[in-house]
Amino acid sequence: MVRTKVCGVTNEADLRAVERAGADAVGVIADVPVETPREVAVGDAARLVAAAPPFLTTTLVTMPDTPAEAVDVADRVGSDVLQLHGDFAPGAFREIRDSVAAKLVAVVDAEDPERARDVAPAVDAVLVDSVDDSGAGGTGETHDWAATAEVTATLDAPVILAGGLGPENVAEAVETVRPFAVDVASGVEARGGQKDHDAVRAFVANAAAAGERIAGDDAEASGGNRTDDDRTVEEVSS
């Protein structure tokens, strides 16, 4: 099933809306060198992360200049996942991953598939986004999903799809790319970084429905044959 992440949450009311919608993850943005209404202070990011319920995965999105800066802000915020924008080499990503408790996600430009292949072995997941000249996401622009699907099929790491997604197009994106997860920020906003709670619910529901259709199609294509992954807990335990 496809997972969903709502990014750029700036307040606890929006955090609760993400939780109620049934999203798998929430993202807070801190310590970035670009202008965005979604950025919060590092201390506020830590407070939002601490306020999240146990089964909502928290993600810090940041743009450090060095591995040491990445480790420092990750330690200060304490999120479950660290999502990094920046031109780090695979070795630097490995250094960061070895130094933080969080899972590590590398953001790559959808127009640079070789970059995705280079960094995938060094991180826990790759987020494919439409990025601007500064390397930041949140552009609200889609990219070539068919091309991204081809790249996704070649990567060893899970792929998170971002870039111009919203309630109206996330189902098509999921069915085209078949990513591990989808990520939305501006596509579910009312104004100035504040989330539209109805849009958040619709995004999560539409992504989940698309994932269910894919699962049903795959089951039908396989003739309903079960694999080891389909066994129940009781069967595995016996």
Distance CA 32, CA 67 (A): 14
Nearest to 38 by CA among 193, 187, 165: 193
Q: Which residues are catalytic?
A: 7, 129
